[in-house]
Chain A
Amino acid sequence: MKNTTEFTHIPKDMFEFVNHGERISDKKFEDKPIGYFKDAWIRFCKNKASIVAAVIILCILAFAFIAPLAITTHNATFMDTYYSRKPPRNELLSNIGIADGGTNRDFSEQGIVKAVAVGMGAEDHDGSGTVTLEEGMASEYQPILDIMGSREVSEIRGVPPRTIYSARIENYLEVGFLYLSIPQSQYYQILEWQEETGLQVLYPLIANNEYTMDAADANYWYKMDSRGNPVRTTAGEAEVIEYAEGMVLEDNYRRDENGNPVYYEYTGGGNHETAQFRVRVLYYNYYQYRNGFTPQYLLGTDSQGYDLTLRLADGIKLSVLLAICVSAINLVIGAIYGAVEGYYGGAVDMVMERIVDVLANVPFVVVATLFQMHLATRVGAIPSLLFAFVLTGWISTAARTRTQFYRFKGQEYVLAARTLGARDRRIIWKHIFPNSLGTIITASALVIPGVINTESMLSYLGIVKLNTSSVTSLGNLLASASSIWTSYPHLMLFPAIVISLLMICFNLFGNGLRDAFNPSLRGVEE
């Protein structure tokens, strides 16, 4: 109200004529007219939230398409079972303290000894037995990155309190040593490779005697008592070694008659190709020997040992492509169906509406399940999911188109076109349909987040099984993480963030589009 009163008494001399004398009524407009779509575009650009959302969507898509190209060392089907569920690890990023492959954990005394022993054992590859705790900690194969502190915990009265160490452990190095069965030829290859690179892969086998707690665990290379405490043996007497500075572990390597450590054991097979050798390897170096690169996973590895970055990229691609396909197909089917319904009306409308009634009232989850059960084995999981989405997805578009046609078909310009002899098809597509295009397009934009959500929900529930080495979806990643995510939060965190972001952004984007295409909102925002 205030603004208008200011302009009620403007002195006459403040006005001046824009044009005087010249006749402009017959002239053409000099500037270009702003059509419906251009106007919508201008108003969409004013909506900051939608622009931000669009940018984020583009970033996520860029990630999905660029990540497989940027990771040159391996592809999405690359899988390593020993390095499954590992946290993010990247050598560049670890310099600034993130993605170092580490997690914080609490250790008992036996546990921390076992962990640091990996680094000590890696240094002590010839069984010299002189590696101290400090040397082991300095080793590049040392899984314990940092010991933050220790505390005394007494659980049972009367029993001396146990010391609990909280430390940061590198999950890749923690794998430590493994027993592998390899052919003889590979054994000699590894020896050659060791010569070339100077990296030690093969380590002495461990003697199976009373000083080891678990003969299958290749990390127990030192002598220990039955409770896992490291011991020193002097004249047949075992004496427990305290975990303290300068600790030296006594190795339990298997030795031949001359006292040299044994590196392999012949387990069977014939000639020099097929003879199987049982060896003990330092897995971190064995991985490098096998693949030619160190394990580097920007977002860690998933529950099966695939690179989570690439799985995530695959999942995003699948979800978004499926959603776009579905909304495009629904747009076409819905537009045609709705146009025919709305234009002809009467009995045609009646019959077609009953069909819609039936289809619309079948719960989608049932449709998806039945399609999976009937078609998944024949045409694959993704096409049958697409069919399920298409079967009922077009209904809302059709309803929208139908209403628009009811609105416009009685108008004079349609009557005029018909009088001039235009056929039904021309009236539908040339005259009426363009009027309803805006609303239909925006409705399809809002279909995308719906499809992404439903698809991830179905694969999360296991109704749609998209879990092969080449195909995965976001819902599947979450489903495989759902039972173990408490120990491996990154498995849940990254897919959840991506899917939430996708949903929020597509919704914002769709809302912005809807507002831009809605002429009744023109001028309301300002």
Chain B
Amino acid sequence: MAKYVLKRILLMILTFFVIVTICFMLIRLLPRELPMEENLREVMLARFEALGYNEPLLVQFGIYLKNIFTNWDFGTSWYVQFRADAWDVLMDRLWPTVLVNFYSFLVSVPLGLALGIYAAVRKNKWQDHLISTLVMVFVSVPSYVYGFLVQYFLYFKAGLFPLTVSSLADAGGSWFTWTMFYSMIPPIIALSFGQIAGLCRFTRAELTETLTSDYMLLARTKGLTRSQATTRHALKNAMVPILPMIISTFISILAGSMVIEQIFAIPGVGQLYIRSINLLDYDVFMMDTVFYVFVGLLAGIVVDISYGFIDPRIRMGKKK
């Protein structure tokens, strides 16, 4: 097991390095935007020169790596937050993303699991048909449509919630105040629809498969009641693929949803990405890219390894 984990991590690091290299080259190839104002322009040109932005690409990459390993310096933001450290800029925006997505995770996992299990147990009855139809609809509808629906009904019709998430100053300087949580409820709801539906569909599919397997028949024959057999045998086996999916959702909390952040004006990682593109702030863009790549890879590897822990028979990616 340890050897397997180590191998996966090494491969992940290799992939990570290759992707970061490619992204770095492609981003540094883009022409830099300079401000119109003469003095600032001069200052920035001088800074670019000093930071080695005019060196050949490979030298630039060397400098970039050296700065990361020696100073944990991922570059400088020029437009999003003038001369702030790209790493700090990203970290400032991590909390709102994580919080909104974590709350939504807390809501959607139990609901999705419960609905999925219910639908699987009531397979081909009206409850199952109802849930499956709704799931189909909710999985398909794009996330921004939820955003608008939630805003329309909760803000315009009912007037219950604010239109967008409160700023840090309004909420008393902390992400953990009640005002902040209250204003986060609409994006949490908007995010949850899709997640609940996705998890519900997955759970239903897995559980129906285990419910029809032979060991279930055996369990019933040896005298277990239907509910006993379901909870003790079917559910346990169905959890083998479901649990890694939940884990991967949990890790993707870090990346968040760009669309929802844009609609509800959450000052998070996704919004930072859009802003860095619009302002052509390449170092922040690079930082955000590195972050997204890392989260994606991390989710993948944790899922693969968790399969091995949950069900020791499984080794993902092993030879056939």
A binding-site residues for B, Cβ under 8 Å = 354, 357-358, 361-363, 365-366, 369-370, 373-374, 406, 449, 453, 456-457, 460-463, 478, 482, 485-486, 492, 496, 499-500, 503-504, 506-508, 511
Contacts and interface: CB of A to CB of B under 8 A. Distances in A.
A478 B16 CA distance: 35
B279 interface: no
Contact of A358 (B19, B27, B255): B19
Nearest to B280: A373
B262 A363 contact: no
A496 B289 CA distance: 30
Given A366-B292, A373-B30, A457-B143, 16 more contacts: A354-B15, A357-B15, A363-B255, A363-B289, A369-B277, A370-B26, A374-B26, A406-B320, A486-B156, A500-B140, A503-B140, A503-B142, A504-B136, A504-B137, A507-B136, A508-B136
A31 B200 CA distance: 44
Q: Closest 8 CB pairs between A and B?
A: A503-B140, A504-B140, A363-B292, A500-B141, A507-B140, A366-B289, A370-B26, A496-B145
B142 A504 contact: no
B259 A457 contact: yes
Interface of B: 11, 15-16, 18-19, 22-23, 26-27, 29-30, 136-137, 139-145, 148, 152, 156, 255, 258-259, 262-263, 273-274, 277-278, 285, 289, 292-293, 296-297, 300, 320
Contacts of A374: 26, 29-30
A478 B144 contact: yes
B120 to A, nearest CB: 15
B296 A463 contact: no
A363 B136 contact: no
B297 to A, nearest CB: 5
B277 to A, nearest CB: 6
A486 B19 CA distance: 42
A366 B293 contact: yes
Contacts of A462: 274, 278
A438 B289 CA distance: 36
A457 B263 CA distance: 12
B293 A500 contact: no
B151 to A, nearest CB: 8
A461 B262 contact: yes
Given A366-B292, A370-B23, A504-B136, A463 B141 contact: no
15 contacts: A358-B15, A358-B18, A362-B293, A363-B296, A366-B289, A370-B23, A457-B143, A460-B259, A461-B262, A485-B148, A500-B142, A500-B145, A504-B136, A506-B140, A507-B140
A373 B31 CA distance: 10
B156 A456 contact: no
